[in-house]
Structure 1
Amino acid sequence: MQPLSEVLNFAADAPALPKEFSGEVFEVSRAITCPEKAKQVYEKLEPILKGYRADHDIAIACGLLLEKQRSEKGMRGIWSDLCNLYPDDLTSLRMLMRWYRREQNVAAGIELIAQMFPECWHSLTQANKAIPALAELKAWDEIDEIMSCLLVLHSDDRPIRMMYIKLLKEQSRFIEAAKLAANVHGQDSMGKASQELLGSVSRHARTLSKNNLANSNDGIAKIIAKADAPRALTKCENVVFFTGQLGTGGAERQMTRMACAFQTRHDAGQPLGLAPKVWVKHATASSGADFYRPLLNETGVETRVLSEMPEVPVAALEGLSDDVKELLELLAPDVLRHTCQLYSMFREDQTDVAYLWQDGGIVQSAIAAVLAGVPRIVTSFRGLPPNLRPNLFRDELPVLYAALAQLPHVTFTANSQKAATAYEEWLSLDAGAVIVVPNATPAVLPDGDDTDHAYWSEVLDASEGCTKTVLGVFRFDQNKRPIDWIKAAARSIAQRDDTRFVMLGGGALHGECAALIEELGLSNRIFLAGIRSNVGFYMHRADLLVHLAEMEGLPNVLIEAQLAGTPVLATPAGGTHEVVFDGVTGHILSTATTLPEAELDETLERLLADEDELAKLGAAAMTQSGDRFSVETILGRTIELFNTPRLDTE
């Protein structure tokens, strides 16, 4: 990615942009959420950057537009450049620190802030820049140290005190925030938002003291302990699936597949049929979070989206004591909002089973399900637990899971044994406490539509002379390593001239992958097919599927490939060993943490050179997969879970 400092025009004689134009562009850049729209606007702005004298608003707007294209490579450098160009700009500084945190390099970010603002412990001017930047890093200890000096040296400065109170509230440190709030002068003359901030931290501090709680997360256990006993389960009829959104991820695909399978069997009067409901936090079209919504609608699955519904205030919740309502208000704002909505919805629906998917969805819904007396609550963990994936960790999760583990009507499940064991170890649960329910995978058919056949003809024409096809099917993000996939393909192409490489999928790194293929001059050997509905069409035409993920749950694409009779070469991420029989249905590399390039290249070359071995692996893959992952098998196991409470808790 070309640095903005090389695109911006600093010539003194370059014409200046009208200020109203650059200000309008800046506001547009802040409002855009769709990656494709961000890319279109940026491409239109780039010539303006070169033709006019550098403008602060336009430069920051372009940084935001690049950020919203969801490209990961080079973004920290972009924001570093902008910080150097505009050292007083707080947006670029905060975004730079956000990238340090995303890259799990918080220490380097803290060190940079210390170098940039050495006097922030006593200078309000420097503190007003350093503290928001440190907050992006979640460097709370460093902020506390700075504030311990500032509050003494500038005891009468209300803005810095209010900033600290807001940050303490963000950490749910209500007792400390309330002590500071009590000493804020001139509260009667403050604006409504500021008065509400001070009132809320004082109120929450009283709730903590009243319940003898050290912090707000401890209130979760208290809420669940105060919940009434669940209703008796008389029949498994009203089943609700809940997750965060309906994007293109594997968990969303699996949840949609199961909901649709249940609904189809219900409508046909077949065994295992029921009419589930699907509720999600949001399904925003501009961000692709509605991808599976049309399929749910076509199948007749009732779908509700919380972001499209009115919020429900705590005071309006019926059937809860004032003590529980006070404790609910300690929850993080997003958890509180969805808990209130879902509590009312579960009660109105008289839900029999709440099937809660993924950690993010569980933290938003489990408290509501418990309080609403839902008779059966089943969680579905997807992939490794958040203690092993820090970017997904929330402080509420260990407290919530520990409390849920004590309830006999709550059952934990995971889609692989590796994930189940990892959750058990994290939560100090007995072996077997997390039940394994693999992904349901229907038959992988070779059928394609006209667009698939037309595209495949183009691929064959472009790669005339190639007799073998290596396929990759994944989301284009850092975890799936699409850049490494392309580089491995390029190394293989340098050794042999009979193989083409085809990649299916989309994502943040798609543009970068396209640029790399063009740079390598391999557009006639490596093909980007984009997102395709008929994945089986391509799997049945492939000789080998290569999957290089660093982390996985139960990799569904490996199941699908084997059902199609396509052997796989994969890293041992997540539950790969539970899907692929090494040496029998495919080959598993030695490690997923770092990509073993030499081993990958040697194994790929050996397989491509041995057509008999590929055929033998493919035949075994199709035979071995069979009923293990069939939709009927998984639906049957799921119905059993819905109807059977856990018996290991007294």
Structure 2
Amino acid sequence: MGAYTHWFYENRRKKSPILSYVRKIRGKLKRHFSLTNPPTPEQLKQRWLARSEFLLPGLENSKRDTLLPLPARPKVLHLIGSLQSGGAERQLCNCVIGMHKRGYEVTVLLIYPPAAEHGHYVELLHAAGVPIRVAGKQFNPEFETAVNQLPGGEACLASIPHEFRTFCIDVLGELLTQPPDILHTWLDHSNIWGGVAAIFANIPLIVLSTRNVNPSHFPYLNDPYFEVLYSKLAQSPKVRFINNSRAGAEDYANWLGLPESRFSVVLNGVDYQGLARAGEEQIADFREAVGIPGGAAIIAGVFRLSEEKQPLVFLQVIKRLIGRRLPVVAVIAGVGPLEHAVRTFIAENGLDASVFLLGRRSDVATIFSAATLKLLCSRQEGTPNVLLEAQWLGCPVVSTKAGGAADAVANGETGFLVEVGDVDRLEASVTALLEDPALRQRMAEAGPAFIQNRFDSDRMVRETLSIYNLTN
């Protein structure tokens, strides 16, 4: 709970301590019965349709106000949950650094403090001179005056559903006391919480950046209010949508019942200057540190250990290759909920000497430079940064055609694409690269040019600015 949420609850308690206590007990009872008698998905959707009426006053204001031209150099605030080592977080960094270099006033607003793993990219932004704030870290007294000017005043804050009220109020506090001209949010939770806050704060332009395919494909990420509130936010003429792949844009549009034209596609961008191939000495040090035998080919897996990345399919391919006595090892950089299942598979199949779990890593360029090839077996993807980075570094790739991955590889030129779940074709494609050094070399040489032509970071920034209706 940040400073603005704390102010709200303290104010509420002081004005009506008994009523505040009754609300707390009622909330606990509701949550108890919700757990013991869980509603069906359709019942949840209907409940959220009724509860979404809290947004109506803000939406009416949003529809009533004329869309005025933005300043030539608008203030742009980018909102995301954290700066952990994820693909969306990396793309946010590339985007804001590119805008900052062009002279735009950009700031990154975080929902969670950038401590430990939540601060992976903090130094990158600090080095580029991009300021970072945390929502609700400090209380600005101007918030009290600004709240009274909201539709319904303080009651507007109370109307926000308790499931995400804390996050919305802290973001709203930042928007009311230091209002940007543009709020650009990243990932589903930030899109909803930031979008709601921005509607109430009457921000002139709201850009919701979706990644991958819609969250109903990922039960561990999906919240029951996503679909309803995305649809409500889409009613505002101030709201624009982005996705980082054509497949993702189409999937979100179909899910929400929106025209696909509501989603602009902005492919990921690679920061070439910050991603250089490691030298031979670094590669030798890496192999020694991990314990990779001399002469063994390296198959690199860089992905989150979660169901949609299919780490067990990756291991099935490796098991087949080892079973054929090919001189290969696999390295997996990443953490996630399936780590125990991955370790169990490795132990039960005698792969302890052939598969090295590296955990969370910051030396991805060294891993791809040392690797013979990169293997990705996902069932769902946006535009995978790891495929782009591997090809830029001259590492051939084998990937499933999951979502935007199909657009991220020049099939047969920089790597191979196969159907999702086709373990036979994955194995055959990996084998072809392992057994044909000339093929590997051709693909390694073709990779950088393909990435530079299609996934340039400057291109990504230009396309994002065009969505803001800015042409520089």
Same fold (TM over 0.5): yes
| Alignment counterpart, residue 610 of structure 1, candidates 409, 431, 436 | 436
Counterpart pick for 2:181 among 349, 352, 358: 352
Q: Secondary structure at the match of 2:331?
A: strand
Is the contact between residue 299 and residue 331 of structure 2 (CA under 8 Å) also seen in structure 1?
Answer: yes
Match of 1:242 in 2: 79
Q: 1 CA distance for matches of 2:332 and 2:219?
A: 29
- 1:256 and 2:90 matched: no
Instruction: Give the corresponding residue for 2:107.
Output: 277
Does 2:428 correspond to 1:428?
A: no
Determine if contact 2:147/2:154 at 8 Å carries over to the other structure.
Answer: no
User: What is the aligned partner in structure 1 of residue 165 from structure 2?
Assistant: 336
The alignment status of 1:484 with 2:321, answered yes or no, reads no
Larger Rg: 1
| 2:116 maps to 1:217 | no
Offset from partner CA, 1:176-212 (integer Å, 9 cap, x none): xxxxxxxxxxxxxxxxxxxxxxxxxxxxxxxxxxxxx
Does the alignment pair 1:140 with 2:53? no
1:47-196 alignment runs, 5 A limit:
135-136=34-35, 139-140=38-39
Q: CA deviation at 1:313?
A: 12
Q: Distance in 2 between matches of 1:415 and 1:138?
A: 38
TM-fit CA distance, 1:513: 3.5
Distance 1:319 1:428, change over 3 A: same
Matched-pair contact (CA < 8 Å) for 2:143–2:176: no
Q: Distance in 2 between matches of 1:480 and 1:394?
A: 20
Counterpart position of 1:419 = 248
1:404 aligns with 2:241: no
Q: Name the counterpart of 2:23.
A: none
- The 3 A distance-change label for structure 1 pair 390 and 469 is closer
In structure 2, what is the Cα distance between the partners aligned to 1:537 and 1:214?
49
TM-superposed deviation, 1:486:
2.4
Q: 1:558 to 1:137 in 2, by over 3 A?
A: farther
Structure 2 counterpart of 1:220, one-letter code: L
What letter corresponds to residue 424 of structure 1 in structure 2? A
Q: Is the 8 A contact 1:447 1:537 kept in 2?
A: yes
Displacement of 1:582: 2.4
1:358 and 1:237 map into 2 onto residues whose CA distance is 22
Aligned equivalents of 2:220 and 2:408: distance in 1?
Answer: 26
Stretches of structure 1 that go unaligned for 5 or more consecutive residues are 1-130, 145-169, 174-212, 266-271, 646-650
Out of 611, 635, 638, the residue aligned to residue 461 of structure 2 is 635
CA offset at residue 231 of structure 1? 5.8
Contact kept? 2:400, 2:417, Cα under 8 Å: yes
Matched residues in 2 for 1:439 and 1:618: separation? Answer: 20
Q: Is the contact made by 1:231 and 1:374 (CA closer than 8 Å) also made in structure 2?
A: no
Deviations 1:491-525 (A, max 9, x none): 20121332222222233444553454455444443
Alpha-carbon deviations, 1:34-67, whole Å to 9, x = none? xxxxxxxxxxxxxxxxxxxxxxxxxxxxxxxxxx
Q: After the TM superposition, which residues 435-474 of structure 1 pair with which residues of structure 2 at under 5 Å, given as runs?
A: 435-443=264-272, 444-447=275-278, 453-459=284-290, 462-466=292-296, 468-474=297-303
Alpha carbons 1:314, 1:325 under 8 Å: kept: no
Q: How does 1:207-606 map to 2 (within 5 A)?
A: 215-227=50-62, 229=65, 232-263=69-100, 265=101, 272-283=102-113, 285=115, 288-306=117-135, 308-309=137-138, 317-318=146-147, 320-321=149-150, 323=152, 325-443=154-272, 444-447=275-278, 453-459=284-290, 462-466=292-296, 468-510=297-339, 512-514=341-343, 516-591=345-420, 595-606=421-432
Distance apart, 1:364 and its partner CA: 0.7
Task: Quote the offset at 1:324 in angstroms.
Answer: 6.2
Question: Is the 8 Å Cα contact of residues 283 and 369 (structure 2) preserved in structure 1?
Answer: no
Aligned CA distance change for structure 1 residues 480 and 242 (closer, same or farther; 3 Å):
same
How far, CA to CA, are the matches of 1:531 and 1:371 in structure 2?
38
Any conservation in 2 of the 1:314–1:329 contact (CA below 8 Å)?
no
Going from structure 1 to structure 2, the CA distance change for 1:340 and 1:132 (only over 3 Å counts) comes to: closer
**Alpha-carbon spacing, 1:138–1:311, altered in 2? closer, same or farther (3 Å):** farther
Equivalent runs, 1:17-28 vs 2, <5 Å: none
Supply the distance in 1 between the matched residues of 2:208 and 2:199 (Cα, whole angstroms). 12
Secondary structure of the equivalent of 2:451? helix
> CA–CA distance in 1 between the matches of 2:164 and 2:412?
46
Structure-2 change in CA distance of 1:218 and 1:390 (3 Å): farther
Amino acid at match of 2:132: T
1:394 to 1:320, Cα distance in 2 relative to 1, 3 A: farther
Aligned residues: 438
Structure 2 unmatched ranges of 5 or more: 1-29
Instruction: Please give the alpha-carbon distance, in whole angstroms, between the structure 2 residues aligned to 1:588 and 1:501.
Output: 19
Give the alignment's Cα RMSD to 1 decimal.
Answer: 3.4
Higher strand share: 2
Q: Distance in 2 between matches of 1:322 and 1:278?
A: 27
Alignment-mate amino acid for residue 499 of structure 1: V
Partners of 2:143 and 2:224 lie apart in 1 by 22
Query: Once the 2 structures are TM-superposed, how far is the Cα of residue 640 of structure 1 from its aligned partner?
Result: 2.0
The answer to whether the Cα contact below 8 Å between 1:627 and 1:633 also exists between their aligned partners in 2 is no
Show CA shifts across 1:403-450 (max 9, x none). Answer: 433433322111111111112222222232200011111224113798
Counterpart-to-counterpart distance in 1, 2:470 and 2:236? 13
Q: Is the 8 A contact 2:59 2:236 kept in 1?
A: no
Q: Distance in 2 between matches of 1:371 and 1:299?
A: 32
Normalising by structure 2, we get a TM-score of 0.82
- Counterparts in 2 of 1:138 and 1:504: CA distance versus 1, 3 Å: farther
Contact 2:175 2:201 in 1 (8 A): yes
**What is the distance in 1 between the residues matched to 2:231 and 2:87?**
27
Q: Distance in 1 between matches of 2:320 and 2:383?
A: 29
Kindly provide the amino acid, as one letter, of the partner of residue 256 in structure 1: C
| Range with greater deviation from structure 2 (443-452 or 335-344) | 443-452
Report the Cα distance in structure 1 between the residues aligned to 2:37 and 2:142, rounded to whole angstroms.
29
The C-alpha deviation readout for 1:227-262, integer Å capped at 9, x for no partner, is 462665223331100012222221112212322343
Shift of 1:137: 7.1
Change (3 A) 1:495 1:342: same
Give the Cα–Cα distance (whole angstroms) in 2 for the partners of residues 339 and 312 of structure 1. Answer: 18
The one-letter amino acid paired with 1:504 is A
